[in-house]
Amino acid sequence: MSTPTTQAPPAADAAPRRGTASGFLSGPAGRNAGLVIALVILCVVGIATAGDRFASTDNLLTILRLAAVTGVVSVGMTFVIIGGGIDLSVGALVALSSVWATTLATQALAEDTHWILMAGTALLVGGVAGLVNGVVIAYGKLVAFIATLAMLAAARGLAEIIANRRTQIVQDQDFLRFFSGSPLGVPTLVWIFALVAVLGWVLLNRTTFGRRTFAVGGNAEAARLAGIRVQRHTVALYVLSGVTCGIAAVMLMARTTTGSSTHGTLLELDAIAAVVIGGTLLIGGRGTIVGTVLGVLIFTALSNVFTLNNLSSSAQAVAKGVIIVAAVLLQQRVAAGRRQRRSPKAVPPTAAEGGPAGASPGVPAP
């Protein structure tokens, strides 16, 4: 259905109009439509193979509940990636936050006051760790990949030290009761995910913060010269990601009734995968929360369908890998289509002085 729409010829502008032929899938709405289609296909497969076991309300709520933790972290990850960074430490930060919030000291304090203190501790720990990430990256000029890889190792190690490698049980019954509830028939964890996603969407699309995130990730130099405090903004993005890890830690504490240094293992990969298949460009500057949410749902629905059909988790992993590659291939084709329109402009005479190494004279025809 990718009919190139004929547009009125440009008035006096020399530039040719952007071709619409690459079509429907290239727009953000189109990409999300692609994800919705993928999700629908998954559901159809689910119904076809597992019937009512898949299509029951209970099962759908299970899918959503399982998606919630990864989803919250993925929303924070979306901001970081749109801003031109990456956060590999999210899984470890979830573990550290969960452990810190369930130490005997924190739990005792919470018992004396209110369980909200436990949740607050988790958020604070996540936020502070994110602050460290951000400062090291923005002011220490470390590559985000390395800085957050270091945080991954350090945070999980610290979590192990604090917990002494033991699983810490959440004692506070009010805490557990609150998070295990189902207002309006929907689990609290799912409400939290929905709330975080909506807030994330608003923050990204309706505020100056979101606009600056796109600008910083799209062209950091232009953003800086436009007067945006790029370093400060970068720090804020990692703090945001850290706070979402804190939220995810609280949700995991509620779901498993424990705090543990093994929580969130490999969560960073799930989150990055969800963000990427959601259409966010890893180079930054482009991305949507809706795409990320759909990405998370696709992965969760996939494992659900596999589980209902008694397929091994190994088979799930293979399918996941295939989906990631397929999604990124699609993304690249879209990006290439965009580059085709752009590439001549990316090499204007001014920017072209000093040519890229691409046109190598050293590779002759055989």
Partner 1 sequence: MSGALLEMQGIVKTFPGVRALGGVDLDVRAGEVHCLLGQNGAGKSTLIKVLAGAHQPDEGEIRWQGETVRLTDPQAAMRLGIATIYQELDLVAGLSVADNVFLGRERSRFGLSRPAAAQRATADLLARLGHPEIRPGTEVGALSAASQQMVSMARALSQDARLIVMDEPSAVLDNEEVERLFHVVRDLTADGVAVVYISHRLEEIRQVGDRITVIKDGRTVATGLPARETATREVIALMTGRTIEYVFPQRTERAATTAAPLLEVDHVTVPGHVEDVSFTVAPGEILGLAGLVGSGRSEVLEAVYGARRPTTGEVRVDGKRLRPGDVASAVAAGVGLAPEERKSQALLLGDPIYRNITLSSLGRFARGGFLSVRGEKAAAREQTEALDLRPVDVDREVRTLSGGNQQKVVLARWLLRECRVLLLDEPTRGVDVGARSEIYALIRALADRGVAVVVVSSEIPEVLGLADRVLVLAEGRVLADRPAGALDEHQVLDLVMQGTTTPTSEDDAA
- Residues lying near partner 1 in the complex (CB under 8 A) are found at 10-18, 202, 206-212, 214-215, 218-219, 221-229, 285-286, 338, 341-342, 344-366
Calpha distance 295→69 (Å, rounded): 13
Calpha distance 296→75 (Å, rounded): 10
Residue 259's beta-bridge partner residues?
Answer: 168
Nearer to partner 1, 205 or 312 (CB): 205
Nearer to partner 1, 230 or 327 (CB): 230
- Which residues neighbour 69 within 8 Å (Cβ) at sequence distance 6 or greater? 94, 189, 248, 251, 252, 255, 264, 267
Calpha distance 125→106 (Å, rounded): 12
Which residue, chain included where needed, has tokens 């919030």? 101
DSSP labels, 138-187? HTS---HHHHHHHHHHHHHHHHHHHHTT-PEEP--HHHHHHHH--GGGS-
Calpha distance 332→317 (Å, rounded): 23
- Nearest distance in Å: CB 210, partner 1: 8
Report whether 17 contacts 10 (CB < 8 A): yes
The helix/strand/coil state of 92 is helix
- Nearest distance in Å: CB 331, partner 1: 14
- Nearest distance in Å: CB 348, partner 1: 5
Nearer to partner 1, 141 or 183 (CB): 141
Nearer to partner 1, 313 or 343 (CB): 343
Nearer to partner 1, 264 or 291 (CB): 291
Report whether 67 contacts 193 (CB < 8 A): yes
CB burial of residue 46 (10 Å; 0-12, 13-18, 19+): buried
Nearer to partner 1, 83 or 259 (CB): 83
Nearer to partner 1, 17 or 166 (CB): 17
- Nearest distance in Å: CB 361, partner 1: 5
Calpha distance 25→327 (Å, rounded): 12
Nearer to partner 1, 165 or 232 (CB): 232
Nearer to partner 1, 217 or 264 (CB): 217
Kind and range of the H or E element at 259? strand 258-259
- Nearest distance in Å: CB 19, partner 1: 10
- Nearest distance in Å: CB 82, partner 1: 12
Calpha distance 364→200 (Å, rounded): 51
Calpha distance 341→344 (Å, rounded): 7
- Nearest distance in Å: CB 357, partner 1: 4
CB burial of residue 266 (10 Å; 0-12, 13-18, 19+): exposed
Largest CA distance in the chain: 78
Question: Cβ–Cβ contacts within 10 Å for residue 60, how many?
Answer: 15
Nearer to partner 1, 114 or 338 (CB): 338
